A and B are shown apart, each in its own frame.
Chain A
Amino acid sequence: MSETKGLARVNEMLSTDRFARAKELRAAGKHVFGYVCCFAPLEMLTALDIVPVRLLGDPNEPQTEADKHVETIMCSFIRSVFDIDLKGCFSFLDGLVVPHSCDSVCMTWGIWPYYNDSRVFQYFLNVPHSATETGEELMGHALQDFKKKLEQFTGKALTEEALRSAIVRHNRQRALLRELYDLRKDPVPPITGTEVKQVLIAVMSLPVDEGNALLEEVLAEVRTRASQKAGGPRILVYGPAMDNGFIDLVESCGAEVVIDDACLGTRFFSANVEEGIDPYLALNHRYLRDTKCPRTYRRPPEEELAPGQTYNYEEDVELRLGHIAKYAKEWKADGAIFYVIRFCDSHGFDIPDARDSLKRHGVPVLVLEGDYTLTKEQLKTRIQAFLEMLDQ
């Protein structure tokens, strides 16, 4: 285990092998599972002493293996994850958990085990698409099936006591991440958006308790630091995966990314799992209802209206997307930049509503669409023009 601490440890992890610790633990006899997206109930893995690590792509790696086996008209992020898995980057994993987040993930799952059946445990968690009573009922079945399969794999019972303990520890992690994000509410934030994202990636690569310890070190260090930026426009970023250098790019143009609504961002930790109720019901609520990903359908109020009553569409948009404007207000964002990965239906359909919602709240928006691998120079020109507009 590394001797470095805090941000130095984060830098070390990301510049060498972020999975080094997970591999070390595996060599010592622990099981290590990889997962994608925000819908894998990590608490269930932790409760069985399985180390969950978030799988990300590599925007600098040409998708040569994926090119052989999978179409290009799909999310280039998940395509990159698939590509580097086929190249052996995740060969240390005992298991893979793929939740039903979106069509690209779901359809990639259809072929994934065909190309890599090296892992003993490969599981598709069929998360329903709507945060409704029936969705909750189906999610309950999905969680129970997942429990059964995990118990079969480990040969151990997933006890309620262990699950409750895991929930507390993961909630602690969420609270620490919120503390870290809160530091960026400061008019002169002591940590950059790029650094926050790096911390997040590092934490997602460690067992929960070690991630929490690292976060405590980072928080202690950052609280005593001076501002890391000269004070450019404060920006909210919106989109799916943000591990592709997009935040770095925005900050290199002179902005400060102070907040996000992204898969690799607030969606990972913004909501806790409720403690003190049935743990499976709590997980159900947290992952189906409270994870604010646009892949989840939320019933609009008008379904409950009486015939002839009209509804206010803007209210419905606020129900679905109002949290973005709330973030912008709390973190005092001067503007918002969307980076929607091409062929992402979930985010693509929401662009007009999310854009207009922010504009109604007085937040100017720049919408960009592109691949997981960034065309940096083209994007830079548009971002710079937007930032100049904000400065005027």
Chain B
Amino acid sequence: MAEELKNTKPRTGAVKTTQTCHEAGQLIKKFNADAVRALQEGSPVAWVMVSSMMEELCAAMDISPVFTENYATAAASRPGGVKMLEVAEGDGYPQGICSYARVGIGHAMLRQQCGCVQPDWPLGGMADPTVILGSTNVCEPRYKWYQQLRRYQNVPYFCGEYSMMRLQSGVDPAEVESYVIAAAKKEFLRCKDFLVKHTGRKFDESRFMEVVLQGERTRDAWWKCEEIRRAVPGPMPFEDMIGCFPIGFMYSAYPESEAFFNKLYAELEERVAQKKEVGPVGEKYRILWGWGIPPYGYLKLFNIMEEYGAIPVFGTSNTCYGKYTHDDFGSFTDPVERYLVGQFRSTNHGMAEANAMHVTQDVYDVIRFAKEYKCDGIVMNGTPSCRFRTIGQMAAIEMLKESTDIPILIMENDMADPRAINEAEIRSSLESFVQVVDTAKRRREGN
């Protein structure tokens, strides 16, 4: 009976608008299939935590990456994902900890029980890793999760110390950049040595420079797509960019990723020229996805917004935050330093401006993008199992009130635990919110 219920579950994913975006899924599937094929051919596969300064390194050493957080987002909307959560919880991991991690740990436990990944798991399961690459950058689960994977998988694990690559409020990035990069370089080279030892792959500096330059071109092509989305009406909704995000963020080192964004840009340019609108009723209100991880198990929520003419024209998550390359990049002849400086500056974008305004970087992003994308309302999403992307949202409303009077809605839905998503509440809160946005917009326009 339970299986029948699973099979008849109504669609929870989002219907996409742009044509190119449909190809994003295919490209990501191709990258995943490459990893499976690599494994079958005896080539190394690395499980990689994103933002761990390892994406480009894997690409340069021909090691196929599997991004475990990505897998958790895919599992969130598929039968089998909940099973992984439950299996992890059954070993004692509390429901409050990161749901990405619980999916990943559940996957490892089931893999251990079954002897191999099973075809009926979400996306057919993740290819077995040769090595696991985590880091202390961003949040605690990023190293605690991988540390726990070794309870179930006898695989060499590397954890990079990158906890200062993302700065805290009040710190001037320019003041600390040199020593943070020096320390990060040591970790990067340590990781390189670890990979050489455990995968047998070679590291070639000139090849790495090529990969770094490719990554920069991809990210700049991605930013061009984000910039054109300022157009009114917006040519591409946020849910489409969610689908493209892994290509720009995780697979930027591959030429097909740059080609993808160039194609997307061409489509967006055409949609802007033709003033093509998003959604069944067109664009009545422009909404900023202001802060928080989307509930990957229920991306349909964006289509619900669009039913009311509330178009999520941009998001401050799942995006890049500006042109990736800086004028002084040419002065970096060492590819590792160039790469790490790029990562550091991208991660700490807007920090100086945020510090000057005495707000957090997240709040600064919301203020900046709400203005640049001419938004009428802001929607945030609190994630019950993620401290890092949730704490501060309530405070943000108060900070935002000092610079904008546009309405703000905070929802609460988990990123990868569909049991912590309330469909009825999503619909009713969005319905009421659109009314508030409408009233505020009329007031602003003097109607």
Q: Does B337 belong to the interface (CB within 8 Å)?
A: no
Best-buried of A115, A134, A353 by chain B (most CB within 10 Å)? A134
Interchain CA distance A85-B388 in the complex, whole Å: 22
Q: Does A369 belong to the interface (CB within 8 Å)?
A: yes
B140 with A103: CB separation less than 8 A? yes
Interchain CA distance A343-B420 in the complex, whole Å: 15
Interchain CA distance A143-B382 in the complex, whole Å: 34
Q: Does B384 belong to the interface (CB within 8 Å)?
A: yes
Q: Does A303 belong to the interface (CB within 8 Å)?
A: yes
B163 with A311: CB separation less than 8 A? no
Q: A151 — which chain B residues lie within 8 A by C-beta?
A: none
Among A3-11, A214-222, A294-302, the stretch in contact with B: A294-302
Other-chain contact of A369, B94, B139, B171, B387 (Cβ < 8 Å): B94
> Which secondary structure dominates where chain B touches chain A?
loop
A355 with B382: CB separation less than 8 A? no
Q: Does B159 belong to the interface (CB within 8 Å)?
A: yes
Q: A297 — which chain B residues lie within 8 A by C-beta?
A: 136, 143-144, 147, 159, 161
Other-chain contact of B395, A70, A126, A129, A300 (Cβ < 8 Å): A70
Question: Across the two chains, which residue of chain A brings its CB closest to B152?
Answer: A313
Which residues, 252 to 294 on B, are CB-close (under 8 Å) to A?
none
Asked, given contacts A100-B168, A352-B93, whether A130 binds B136 with beta carbons under 8 Å apart, the answer is yes
A69 with B154: CB separation less than 8 A? no
Q: B98 — which chain A residues lie within 8 A by C-beta?
A: 345
Q: B157 — which chain A residues lie within 8 A by C-beta?
A: 300, 302-303
Which residues, 306 to 341 on A, are CB-close (under 8 Å) to B?
306-307, 310-311, 313, 316, 340
Interface size class of A (residues with CB under 8 A): 35 or more
A352 with B144: CB separation less than 8 A? no
A352 with B395: CB separation less than 8 A? no
Question: Across the two chains, which residue of chain A brings its CB closest to B190?
Answer: A134
One digit per residue, 1 when the CB lies within 8 angstroms of any chain B CB and 0 when it does not, for chain A 281-294 equals 00000000000001
Other-chain contact of A73, B92, B96, B145, B169 (Cβ < 8 Å): B96
A111 with B197: CB separation less than 8 A? no
Q: B388: shortest Cβ distance to chain A, in Å?
A: 5
Q: A353 — which chain B residues lie within 8 A by C-beta?
A: 148, 151
Interchain CA distance A351-B96 in the complex, whole Å: 13
Q: Does A102 belong to the interface (CB within 8 Å)?
A: yes
Q: A311 — which chain B residues lie within 8 A by C-beta?
A: 154
B163 with A130: CB separation less than 8 A? yes
Asked, given contacts A128-B161, A130-B136, whether A71 binds B94 with beta carbons under 8 Å apart, the answer is no
A129 with B387: CB separation less than 8 A? no
A104 with B163: CB separation less than 8 A? no
Q: A69: shortest Cβ distance to chain B, in Å?
A: 5
Q: Does B427 belong to the interface (CB within 8 Å)?
A: no
B158 with A303: CB separation less than 8 A? yes
B139 with A138: CB separation less than 8 A? no
B179 with A141: CB separation less than 8 A? yes
Interchain CA distance A114-B171 in the complex, whole Å: 15
Q: B92 — which chain A residues lie within 8 A by C-beta?
A: 351-352, 355, 367
Q: Does B187 belong to the interface (CB within 8 Å)?
A: yes
Q: Does B327 belong to the interface (CB within 8 Å)?
A: no
Interchain CA distance A103-B382 in the complex, whole Å: 15
**How many residues of B are in contact with the other chain, CB < 8 A?**
60
Q: Does B30 belong to the interface (CB within 8 Å)?
A: no
B382 with A71: CB separation less than 8 A? yes
B136 with A111: CB separation less than 8 A? no
Q: Does A107 belong to the interface (CB within 8 Å)?
A: yes
One digit per residue, 1 when the CB lies within 8 angstroms of any chain B CB and 0 when it does not, for chain A 106-123 equals 111111011100000000
Question: Across the two chains, which residue of chain B brings its CB closest to A346?
Answer: B140
Question: Across the two chains, which residue of chain A brings its CB closest to B185?
Answer: A134
Q: A110: shortest Cβ distance to chain B, in Å?
A: 5
Q: Does A254 belong to the interface (CB within 8 Å)?
A: no
Q: Does A137 belong to the interface (CB within 8 Å)?
A: yes
Other-chain contact of B387, A115, A126, A302, A345 (Cβ < 8 Å): A345
A114 with B399: CB separation less than 8 A? yes
Question: Across the two chains, which residue of chain B brings its CB closest to A369?
Answer: B94
Asked, given contacts A134-B183, A307-B197, A349-B97, whether A299 binds B159 with beta carbons under 8 Å apart, the answer is yes
Interchain CA distance A129-B91 in the complex, whole Å: 25
Q: A357: shortest Cβ distance to chain B, in Å?
A: 11
Question: Across the two chains, which residue of chain B brings its CB closest to A106?
Answer: B168
B398 with A69: CB separation less than 8 A? yes
Q: Does A348 belong to the interface (CB within 8 Å)?
A: yes
Question: Across the two chains, which residue of chain B brings its CB closest to A128?
Answer: B163
Asked, given contacts A73-B96, A345-B141, whether A313 binds B391 with beta carbons under 8 Å apart, the answer is no
Q: B264: shortest Cβ distance to chain A, in Å?
A: 33
Which residues, 25 to 63 on B, are CB-close (under 8 Å) to A?
none
Where the two chains meet, the residues of B that have a C-beta atom closer than 8 Å to any C-beta of A are 91-94, 96-98, 101, 136, 139-141, 143-145, 147-148, 150-151, 154, 156-159, 161, 163-164, 167-171, 176, 179-180, 183, 186-187, 190, 194, 197-198, 200, 358-360, 382-385, 387-388, 390-395, 398-399
Q: Could you pull out 28 A-B pairs where Cβ atoms are within 8 angstroms? A: A68-B394, A70-B391, A70-B394, A73-B387, A73-B390, A103-B388, A106-B168, A110-B391, A113-B169, A114-B358, A124-B170, A128-B164, A130-B143, A135-B161, A138-B179, A138-B180, A297-B143, A297-B159, A300-B150, A307-B200, A313-B154, A343-B96, A345-B98, A348-B93, A349-B101, A352-B148, A353-B148, A369-B96
- In addition to A107-B392, A138-B164, A351-B92, 9 A-B residue pairs with Cβ atoms within 8 Å of each other are A69-B398, A70-B392, A109-B168, A110-B395, A114-B395, A130-B161, A303-B156, A345-B97, A345-B140
Identify the 8 closest CB pairs spanning chains A and B, nearest first: A107-B391, A129-B136, A349-B144, A103-B387, A111-B395, A134-B161, A348-B97, A129-B163
